[in-house]
Amino acid sequence: MKKKKRLSYAMVGGATGSFIGPIHRMAIRMDDLADLVAGCFSRNAGTNAASAAKFRVAPERAYADWQSLIAAERGRIDFLVIATTNETHYAIAKAALQAGIDVFCEKPLSLTLKEANDLGRIAKRRGCVLGIPFTYTGYPMVKLARDLVRRGELGTIDKVVMEYVQGSFRKPDRRTSWKTDPKIAGPSCVVSDIGVHAFTMIEYVTGLEVERLLADLSSFANTTGLDDDASILMRLSGGAKASLVTSKVATGEENGVRLRVYGDKASLYWNQEAPNYLSVKYPMKPEMIYKRKAPYVGDLSPRSVAASRFPAGHHEGFVEALGNIYDEFVAAVVSRRARDYPGVREGIRSMRFVEAALKSNRVGNRWTRI
């Protein structure tokens, strides 16, 4: 029997001490999807070399800059993971895609909608796979929520209430100070950092598109003027309405991702801090609490069961959800077929959302088309 070729990948950013780099590496390793064989992990030569040694990357494949990595590794790796700060995403992703390398890029995909559209065109022209870690779409109960909506369990969707709130800016953290620097983060902070997750969740679960929004952005805890709090009203296709609240100054909150979808037959509620449960409420019968990987879930959502890794009652979380997205992304890399992972469409839609929110706030909190 012919032995299957081992997949390999390279990473830009994600050195030792970073937050998001280890999350990507754990998610990929979880299902033994690919081997990390090359990287430019840091601009600092010492940190780069130490990171390569820790990750068991050969010294000659630890590059001083991403340009050298792409030039040398073209044709040698199966995909590139970009885990750098925002201002570099576009240039690195563009160069990799133009070299024919599949890319998994941290959000936001770029600093502008124009750049996101450009990456989409290049990926299509070069036949490349482009993935983005909108990680919450990888949770099993979020997939169940989406499938319940598609099955008509909620009826016609009227209202969506979405929160993504943190209190992270109420305490100093040197690792995230760059998020309020417009030269690095871009023209937005909270909307482009965590608001894009919330926006993508709304469209993913409901299957509806946000058409217009009215945004009120604030800067409470930083002096650069970038938004750290946002309240956004939305009008969706089909006549549904939504409200989205996202904040980094919600004192005492840790990672409050909470989704409520209201239909004319039932409503659902999911809380990322209790991710194994999905609540569905009805007007004239008892509330249903669906449990991850319970025997009845398979008939309702095979994708939810497929995304569940551990037996019922054992907690699954953030890394496992990203692992589910990587499973789908790598399957697309191998098969060149569409799979269930956030990609070009979600990257472009999320940047349309960011620019519409900024414009709405800038022109006096007016309704703005996405």
| 181 and 95 housed in the same domain | no
The boundaries of the domain holding residue 110 are 8-131
Mean pLDDT of the chain: 96
| 144 and 235 housed in the same domain | yes
What's residue 222's pLDDT? 83
Closest among 102, 150, 136 to 307, alpha carbons compared: 136
Please spell the DSSP secondary structure of 236-269, one letter per residue.
EGGG-EEEEEEES--TT-S-EEEEEEEESS-EEE
Residue 218: alpha-carbon gap to chain centroid: 23
> Is residue 112 in a domain?
yes
d(CA 353, CA 362): 14
What's residue 176's pLDDT? 77
Question: What predicted TM-score, i.e. pTM, was given to this entire model?
Answer: 0.96
What's residue 171's pLDDT? 86
What's residue 2's pLDDT? 52
Q: What does DSSP say about strands 102-105 and 79-83: parallel, antiparallel, or unpaired?
A: parallel
| 177 and 277 housed in the same domain | yes
The residue from 96, 131, 166 where one domain ends is 131
The residue from 78, 113, 131 where one domain ends is 131
| 231 and 192 housed in the same domain | yes
pLDDT digits (tens, 9 = 90+) for 19-38: 999 999 999 999 999 999 99
Which position has the token pair 């030039």? 71
**With 60 as the cut, is the pLDDT of residue 15 above it?**
yes
pLDDT digits (tens, 9 = 90+) for 27-78: 999 999 999 999 999 999 999 999 999 999 999 999 999 999 999 999 999 9
Residue 8 contacts residue 76 (beta carbons within 8 Å): yes
Q: How far is CA 158 from CA 154, 178, 199, 239, in A?
A: 10, 38, 17, 7
